[in-house]
């Protein structure tokens, strides 16, 4: 696949196809785009053949070597890189579950033998579980194919040297063909029509992928503005987009000259300008984008304790995973559980992300927690668990456990059973809700790490996420004040 050489890169440059302007990748490099589609078709064909030969290859462990199940099994045996795979999955899940707009993340990847990889696993193989373990309707299958085409195109662009001088931007907008009911069937959050905005940058064989979640409409009752805003932004940079289809928009890979953008938040700001003055696509007051990027970074770091708990439970249950979907469903269950409890103390989280019915119960739980009525708090949390419809990304219909162990008999058991065995308490140091096992000799707060053993306090913890949020807000304000003073000084100097 990697026949693109230095001489070919120089040939591209000599033909002046790589201009210091914004360009559509498929128009600037039609041959690379054609080769990338051939790569993607070959990959899809391989998946189809393997699906038809499932019985023959079932005994070959390498088939699912890049699956979450495989990573959990290897991590449970002590493999650190596999543990990082599980951790990255959990961190992404909770971030995308809790925030549907106004949040961004940054992940690092590497190029190995021409393939994009993370923690030793090829990114192209991560699409395999989506195709092999889930049932996709036409629209969802088209979206997945576009994502695979983009990945193979990115690899081709990198091999050709294009990413030495340009970054790549993709707008992954929600479907314009599916009904709201169909979107909700797949776990999409229609109140925001979330668009995933991605910025890929390369420094040699080291890659960074910044992802920002922006709203596709200003308010839940507004009309969508994302497609028009993307067209306006592209046109302002000399690109005329032809499609207005949400799924086809995913394939419109744009190349941006390096130096124009420092981080994905810069592209978000351009998107907001094109949308008429929104903030991450929503009808909210504009903020300093660099300061908000720092808030998002610290917010993600604040998930660390929650993520570690999810990983620990995943590894403890990994022996029950008999099929790749078992691990995916268990991650979904654990992430939902911990996210609900996290949302109790973090009031910045809009509990509507859990669904209208669950949100009402979580609002009740917040109130009962505050006034100390723990029995009613437990009841509200139990009801929220039963009605929770949250997800981190589209959960494909008809996806099911092959082994029947995740969350069923032989798995972790129902959350109601867990609540029957344990009681909720409130950490006296950070006020986070915690499970208390009355038979345990040692009790530790999952958030601030306060600890009691044999009835005695042995650590008052580190303040937990509440303290980290206060510190992050103080730093954000300090940065904003510093910027305001600098702007004032520049104005006086002028």
Cα pseudo-dihedral 49, 116, 255, 39, rounded to 10: -20
What Cα–Cα distance (Å) separates residue 424 from each residue in 318, 375, 446?
Answer: 26, 8, 13
| Domain assignment present for 222 | yes
C-alpha–C-alpha distance, residues 417 and 423, integer Å = 11
**Residue 131 pLDDT:** 65
> Degrees (nearest 5) of the Cα angle 447, 336, 413?
100
**Residue 68 pLDDT:** 87
What Cα–Cα distance (Å) separates residue 348 from each residue in 99, 161, 342, 405?
Answer: 10, 43, 11, 35
The number of residues making up the chain comes to 494
Where does a domain end: 257, 280, 301? 301
SS3 label, residue 171: strand
C-alpha–C-alpha distance, residues 383 and 258, integer Å = 50
Task: Name the CA radius of gyration of the chain, rounded.
Answer: 24
**Residue 64 pLDDT:** 45
Where does a domain end: 301, 333, 362? 301
| Domain assignment present for 48 | yes
| Domain assignment present for 336 | no
Task: Count Cα neighbours of 58 within 13 Å in the Cβ-side half-sphere.
Answer: 7
Taken in order 350, 354, 358, 364, the sign of the CA dihedral is: negative
Number of CB atoms found within 10 A of residue 89's CB: 22
Helix axes 289-301, 464-493, angle to 10 degrees: 160
DSSP string, 33-90: HHHHHHHHHHHHHHHHHHHHTHHHHTT-GGGGTTSHHHHHHHHHTT-HHHHHHHHHHH
Where does a domain end: 301, 327, 357? 301
Residues in contact with 25: Cβ distance below 8 Å, sequence separation at least 6, in sequence order: 32, 33, 153, 157, 162, 168, 253, 254, 255
Which alpha helices (DSSP H) does 275-355 contain, by range? 289-301, 304-317, 324-345
Domain span including residue 481: 422-494
Considering only CA atoms, which of 348, 319, 312, 316 is closest in space to residue 444?
Answer: 312
| Domain assignment present for 323 | no
> Do 201 and 54 reside in the same domain of the chain?
yes
Residues in contact with 195: Cβ distance below 8 Å, sequence separation at least 6, in sequence order: 171, 172, 173, 174, 213, 214, 215, 216, 226, 281
How many independent structural domains does the chain possess?
2
| Domain assignment present for 66 | yes
**Residue 218 pLDDT:** 96
| Domain assignment present for 396 | no
Taken in order 110, 115, 116, 119, the sign of the CA dihedral is: negative
Cα 474 to the center of its chain, rounded Å: 26
pTM tops 0.85 = no
**Residue 60 pLDDT:** 40
Burial of 59 by CB count in 10 Å (0-12 exposed, 13-18 middle, 19+ buried)? Answer: exposed
| Domain assignment present for 322 | no
Give, for all 494 residues of the chain, the pLDDT tens digit. 444 444 455 445 434 455 678 999 999 999 999 999 998 888 877 766 554 444 333 334 344 456 889 899 999 999 999 999 999 999 999 999 999 999 999 999 999 999 999 888 888 877 766 666 555 567 888 888 899 999 999 999 999 999 999 999 999 999 999 998 888 877 788 999 999 999 999 999 999 999 999 999 999 999 999 999 999 999 999 999 999 999 999 999 999 999 999 999 999 999 999 999 999 999 999 999 999 999 999 999 889 999 999 999 999 999 999 888 788 889 999 999 999 999 998 888 999 999 999 999 999 999 999 898 999 999 999 999 999 988 876 544 445 555 444 443 333 444 444 444 445 566 777 777 665 555 566 777 767 788 887 667 778 888 877 777 777 778 878 877 877 777 777 666 66
- Cβ–Cβ under 8 Å, residues 327 and 68: yes
Q: How far apart are the first and last CA of the chain?
A: 56
**Residue 399 pLDDT:** 52
Task: Count Cα neighbours of 491 within 13 Å in the Cβ-side half-sphere.
Answer: 6
| Domain assignment present for 142 | yes
Tokens of 60: 């070959």
Number of CB atoms found within 10 A of residue 340's CB: 25
């Amino acid at each position: 696949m990697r026949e693109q050489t230095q001489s070919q890169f120089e040939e591209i440059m000599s033909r002046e196809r790589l201009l210091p302007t914004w360009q559509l990748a498929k128009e600037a490099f039609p041959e690379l785009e054609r080769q990338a589609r051939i790569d993607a078709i070959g990959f899809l064909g391989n998946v189809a053949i393997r699906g038809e030969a499932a019985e023959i290859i079932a005994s070959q462990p390498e088939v699912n070597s890049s699956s979450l199940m495989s990573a959990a099994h290897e991590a449970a045996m002590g493999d650190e890189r596999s543990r990082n795979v599980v951790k990255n999955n959990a961190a992404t899940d909770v971030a995308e579950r809790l925030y549907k707009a106004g949040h961004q993340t940054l992940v690092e990847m590497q190029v190995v033998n021409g393939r994009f990889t993370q923690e030793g696993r090829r990114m192209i193989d991560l699409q395999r579980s989506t195709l092999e373990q889930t049932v996709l309707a036409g629209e969802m299958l088209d979206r997945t194919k576009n994502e695979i085409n983009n990945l193979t195109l990115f690899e081709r662009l990198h091999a050709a040297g294009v990413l030495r001088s340009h970054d790549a931007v993709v707008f992954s907008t929600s479907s314009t063909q599916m009904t709201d009911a169909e979107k909700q069937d797949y776990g999409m959050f229609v109140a925001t029509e979330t668009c995933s905005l991605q910025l890929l940058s390369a420094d040699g064989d080291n890659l960074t992928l910044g992802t920002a979640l922006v709203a596709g409409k200003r308010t839940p009752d507004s009309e969508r503005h994302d497609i028009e805003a993307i067209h306006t932004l592209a046109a302002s940079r000399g690109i005329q987009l032809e499609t207005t289809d949400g799924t086809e928009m995913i394939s419109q890979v744009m190349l941006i000259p390096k130096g124009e953008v420092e981080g994905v938040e810069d592209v978000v700001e351009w998107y907001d300008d094109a949308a008429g003055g929104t903030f991450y696509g929503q009808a909210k007051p504009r903020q300093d984008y660099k300061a908000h990027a720092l808030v998002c970074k610290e917010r993600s770091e604040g998930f660390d304790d929650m993520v570690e708990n999810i990983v620990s439970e995943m590894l403890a249950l990994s022996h029950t995973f008999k099929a790749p979907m078992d691990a995916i469903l268990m991650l979904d269950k654990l992430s939902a559980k911990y996210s609900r409890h996290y949302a109790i103390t973090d009031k910045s989280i809009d509990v509507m992300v859990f669904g209208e019915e669950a949100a009402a119960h979580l609002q009740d739980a917040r109130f009962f927690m505050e006034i100390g009525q723990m029995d009613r708090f437990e009841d509200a949390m139990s009801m929220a668990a039963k009605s929770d419809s949250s997800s981190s990304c589209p959960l494909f219909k008809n996806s099911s456990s092959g082994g029947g162990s995740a969350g069923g008999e032989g798995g972790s058991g129902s959350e109601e059973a867990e609540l029957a065995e344990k009681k909720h308490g409130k950490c006296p140091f950070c006020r986070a809700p915690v499970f208390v096992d009355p038979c345990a000799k040692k009790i530790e707060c999952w958030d601030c790490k306060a600890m009691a053993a044999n009835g005695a306090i042995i650590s008052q913890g580190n303040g937990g996420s509440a303290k980290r949020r206060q510190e992050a807000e103080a730093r954000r304000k300090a940065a904003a004040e510093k910027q305001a003073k600098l702007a004032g000084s520049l104005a006086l100097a002028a």
